[in-house]
Amino acid sequence: SIYETVEGSHECLMKGYSLAKGMGVGKSMTSSKFTVGGYDWIFRFYPDGHDKANEEYICIDIKLVSPGEVRVVYELKLLDQSGKGIHRLRRAKPPQLNQEAHGMY
């Protein structure tokens, strides 16, 4: 096979969510760059949604920031500050350079 399968994980803590809620539709918080599978990624977190159509949801983007083309299958888990309330989303999308995969909760 010409494809290589790589597994990895990353944990990202978004501090100040209660202060961020209400910052406005389309406004985001960005994670530090992290590496999984030999590629660099970032998360963007939109407490009030990407746009007006999604303002009732929080939205999370995962963005490939290093050069290359990959196909990715990922699972996001959200955990509230009490340690309860795990929310999950699975999404398979082949992000290309400068493209993003989106999740809404």
pLDDT tens by residue, 51-105: 888 888 888 888 899 988 787 777 777 777 777 666 655 443 444 434 455 554 4
Q: Which residues contact 87 (CB under 8 A, 6 or more apart)?
A: 77, 78, 105
Quickly name the fold that domain 17-104 has: 2.60.210
Instruction: Return the pLDDT at 41.
Output: 92
Which burial class, exposed, middle or buried, applies to 45 when counting CB atoms under 10 A from its CB (0-12, 13-18, 19+)?
Answer: middle
Asked if 59 and 43 count as a contact pair (C-beta separation under 8 A), the reply is no
> Is pTM beyond 0.85 here?
no
Per-domain boundaries in the chain: 17-104
Instruction: Return the pLDDT at 40.
Output: 93
